[in-house]
Amino acid sequence: MATRPMSHIEQVCADKGMKMTEQRRIIAHVLSEAHDHPDVEEVHRRSAAEDPRISIATVYRTMRLFEEAGIVKRHEFGDGRARYEETPATHHDHLIDVRSGKVIEFHNEEIERIQQEIAQAHGYKLVGHRLELYVLPLDAGKATEE
Amino acid sequence: MATRPMSHIEQVCADKGMKMTEQRRIIAHVLSEAHDHPDVEEVHRRSAAEDPRISIATVYRTMRLFEEAGIVKRHEFGDGRARYEETPATHHDHLIDVRSGKVIEFHNEEIERIQQEIAQAHGYKLVGHRLELYVLPLDAGKATEE
DNA sequence: ATAAATGCAAACCCTTTGCGCTCAT
DNA sequence: ATGAGCGCAAAGGGTTTGCATTTAT
């Protein structure tokens, strides 16, 4: 109902000729605004805040749709549920503070290059990779497990 | 019953003073023999082949026990279930052929070093990482998705 | 008008767990 | 003997899905 400007993702969906329901519009907006890596429940929470007539099933279906369309990227940071971010223009990997759960993005050209080399050396073509660094604050050495 | 030689893992368990049931002995043996990355169901299948009186619940409990004791390493290669390998003496990462599911181990000192540097540059200490390369055979460029 | 999308609740998959029985120590 | 471990089946958490209803086109 609100005629707010089209979010980036909504624009992409429209360009792809997707049927744009109010639910999709809202989820697209939520994801476009997100600067973190929300899980489905969180996306649902934020979406429901904009319009309560939206079910978690729809969020699941839409995340899958968006993922398969390359609109969002799914991550599994080891906490059992999937986390999403809008497909980034520039590739990056993640550094996860295991104490706070905070996620920092980084990119390292050298690592990217070496990965390619490794794949090729084994007779393969690199089609994807996952690199996550699990870390603890330097100033908090001992108090935690693992 | 069979007085076969102690598997490596069984030895480690014994050294740690664990109560060694026949089930644990068998699971330890299965894992010690495995040269792949079996999931729980597969570990159960192989264990049950040695002795059918072993439940999947016990396998789950034992995998968790072994993992927490540092005896095995758990991996999540993106297919939804956990996969295990005996904790390797020398650290390595994985290269996964997305077509066949084949897993190849590799190690690259340069990447390891850069990871440390990245963590430190962000004010963190690296406590773990996950690096997986998803690949396709060089000679099979187009027939598959993703 | 009509096929696609939604909401609801049931089902699924992997994993964990409560409980009474069994077994290693 | 006795507490840890086991099997069973039920429960849990995240995710998917069948079906009747709603909605974008």
In SS3 terms, A73-111 reads as EEECCCCCCCEEEECCCCCCEEEEECCCCCEEEECCHHH
Shortest CA–C1' contact from A53: which nucleotide?
A: C7
Q: How far is A137 from chain B (nearest CA, A)?
A: 4
- Could you give the residue range(s) of every CATH 3.30.1490.190 domain in chain B? 93-145
Q: What is the pLDDT of residue A144?
A: 41
Q: What is the pLDDT of residue B114?
A: 97
Instruction: Report the range of poorest mean pLDDT among A26-30, B61-65, B112-116, B135-139.
Output: B135-139
If we measure between CA atoms, which residue out of A8, A6, A66, A67 comes closest to residue A35?
A: A8
Tell me if A122 and B128 make a contact (CB, 8 A cut-off): no
Mean pLDDT by 10 residues, chain A (146 residues): 78 94 97 95 96 96 96 91 94 91 93 97 94 90 43
CA–CA dist A98, B88 (Å, integer): 23
Tell me if B122 and A135 make a contact (CB, 8 A cut-off): yes
Q: What is the mean pLDDT of chain B?
A: 91
Rounded CA–C1' distance between B58 and D5, in angstroms: 9
Kindly tell me if the per-residue pLDDT of B106 is higher than 70.
yes
- If interface means Cβ-Cβ distance under 8 Å, which residues of chain B face chain A? 76, 78, 95, 97-98, 104, 106, 108, 110-111, 114-115, 118-120, 122-139, 141, 146
Confidence of residue B146 (pLDDT cuts 50, 70, 90): very low
Looking at domain B8-86, which of 1.50.10.10, 1.10.10.10, 3.40.630.30, 1.10.3720.10 is its CATH number?
A: 1.10.10.10
Q: What is the pLDDT of residue A100?
A: 84
More confident residue, B92 or A1: B92
Q: What is the pTM of this model?
A: 0.83
Kindly tell me if the per-residue pLDDT of B144 is higher than 50.
no
Q: How far is B36 from chain A (nearest CA, A)?
A: 18
Place of tokens 């019953």: B1
Kindly tell me if the per-residue pLDDT of B92 is higher than 50.
yes
If we measure between CA atoms, which residue out of A138, A23, A8, A121 comes closest to residue A71?
A: A8
Q: What is the pLDDT of residue A146?
A: 36
Q: What is the pLDDT of residue B140?
A: 66
Tell me if B106 and A127 make a contact (CB, 8 A cut-off): no
SS3 A8: helix
CA–CA dist B74, B39 (Å, integer): 9
Q: What is the pLDDT of residue B31?
A: 97
DSSP code at position B142: S
Tokens at residue B35, please? 């040269």
SS3 B106: strand
Residue B16's CB is within 10 A of a number of other CB atoms, namely 10
- Could you give the residue range(s) of every CATH 1.10.10.10 domain in chain A? 8-86
Q: Is B87 exposed, middle or buried (0-12, 13-18, 19+ CB in 10 A)?
A: middle
Q: What is the pLDDT of residue A99?
A: 84
Q: How far is A116 from chain B (nearest CA, A)?
A: 9
Residue A20's Cα: distance from chain center in Å?
A: 21
Kindly tell me if the per-residue pLDDT of B128 is higher than 60.
yes
Shortest CA–C1' contact from B58: which nucleotide?
A: D6
Tens-place pLDDT, residues B23-67: 999 999 999 999 999 999 999 999 999 999 999 999 999 999 999
Q: What is the mean pLDDT of residues B91-114?
A: 92
Q: What is the pLDDT of residue B48?
A: 95
* Pairing relationship of beta strands A93-97 and B93-97 according to DSSP bridges: unpaired
The answer regarding whether domain B93-145 maps to CATH 3.30.1490.190 reads yes
